[in-house]
Structure 1
Amino acid sequence: MYFNWLDRWDEQRARRGEEGKEPTAFILDAERAFPGEKIDSFREFCARADRASTDPTFFDEPHRGDHEFEADENWVKFPSAISTEVTENNIVWAKITRSGPFDRALVIFHHWNAPARNPQIASFFSKRGITVFEIAMPYHFERSRPGSVHADYMLSANLGRTVEAVKQAVCDGRKLIRWLKCEGFQEISVLGLSLGSWVAGLIAAHDANVAKASLFLAGGSLADMVWTGRATRSIRESLEAELDLTELRRAWSPLNLENHVRRLARPELDLQFILAKRDTVVLPKLSEGLIRSLREAGGQPQVLKMNCGHYSLGTLPYIIFAGLKAREFLS
């Protein structure tokens, strides 16, 4: 009885999240994903994506500049590593919740279409000796596109823009982490929520400065998540007349965490997964496939699976269990 009610609650929450999401045109937009390269067809796009998925430099910052950071007690801002036509999106903001004279930092990457940062989560960790930086991902918060009702430029049926946006999020996160290292933080961790877990995972895979990564509601293939997930039905509806899931997997292969498991499984990186057994947004099989691949590559991730849904993970008592487990891991 209780779990039937919980499933209905998650479904109602998912329906509210559909407001403003409409099918859009399928667009290749290869120049965004691979600037300066001449790619005229979907086939060429996929071939280039295949190469990017094994290229350890694909998520490197295009330009480096530490002098561009502006910081005070509560905020740090800096130019994005990637420039777009949306002016607001080109400045990255991170909210700081400080924790006294400690040398540990946690960078939090929020979920897709997050309406605001979460001061409760930031306070929870800052009270335990960790200074928290809640970064705004592309097209969210201060970086939102004027007139948009949700972050449609972050994840959409525009294949090239989605690759660009996720890469931008990764490069911006790495830029902030490099600055934190220069500021004297000795241990830097990342925490990602849903889509933010893909970003945090890609950063952890490519940045040796990351010591720990706690990934909430993570999966391997972003393409599979979009194709099968409850929150992305409008994107699938926009895509399926033009391509199938196998083709989408190739197009977005650089964003598939399973293609980066050898880097994620490196011995000096500690990994934690907090998952929902009743998740209809990131299906459990996507999480299980990633964890299986990590273990086959020699990784030893900590895994907590709770009997709740994607949205109900944020409710009592599940969020308490998740928070305590993450605190134990990060502290």
Structure 2
Amino acid sequence: MTHPTLTQSHGPAFTRLLSVGASRGENLVPNDDLVGPIDSSDEWIRQRTGIITRARAGADVLAVDLATEAGREAVERSGIPADRIDLVIVATISNVQQTPSIAAVVADRVGANPAAAYDMNAACAGYAYAVAQADALIRAGAAHYALVIGAEKLSDVVDPTDRTISFLLGDGAGAVVVGPSDEAGIGATVWGSDGSKAGAVGMNHTLTEFRDGASEWPTLRQEGQTVFRWAVWDMAKVAKQALDAAGITSDDLAAFIPHQANMRIIDEFAKQLKLPDSVVIGRDIATTGNTSAASIPLAMHRLLEEHPELSGGLALQIGFGAGLVFGAQVVVLP
């Protein structure tokens, strides 16, 4: 008996980022508005984090709304008709509904129906994870063009009296369109996790505890020193591995775009990598805050607005956060 031969999909050899879009919460919240409940000061927050203001959305704005705005800009800038986008991936930890996904709603809103669409959670590494997935799925022939979005409304999960992380957090979304390329535009991804440190950063309670009256509304917490040491020392090694995996050195980079966790972490990170002075570091945290999965594409968007000449250059991007999880890759800037 003969068996029919299945046809398996296959796609282009290479992919790249075609465009980037951004959306930030419309309210700029200065440090002085937050210092009372945490018994702190504007000076202390600036020295410890580099943050002057953080972008926060109004009560009537959800993460899906921020994702939609960023996604629309990315699609418009890409030059690809929205109906040719056949994959939408949203990295987020702040969808207020377990279902439906933000991605499915955004796909409809931007005109990409009936694109495959799903949300994924890798916290502050979520965008790097989503880029890795879009790259792999396109090269496998499972999609042709992907809209990748990191979107967060972290002000929904902030306790204003918390001194560990609340004053860091902002709201926003960053998006890229990923598509086929004649040359390699996304390097091999180095990613992983360390669940033994799951308690270092994350939610302080579960939704079932809140439902049963055993806790207050779950909010984010972190062990600052644990996260700082891990981010600076362990993640510098991951960043170097990503350079090696891409077959380049730091001398080949035009930009370094890390997760916008904390300005001190970004500065120490750059020192550990011994980046040449010619490498421009993406910095968005001073006026936007830490936006988790949205922070890398938001920093990329700002970088290219301020330095359009870097378009086409190589950028090392790395995300790291709750899990603990991490992901890094070198990309050609759109």
TM-score by length of 2: 0.34
Higher helix proportion:
1
Instruction: Give the TM-score taking structure 1 as reference length.
Output: 0.34
Select the structure of larger CA radius of gyration: 2
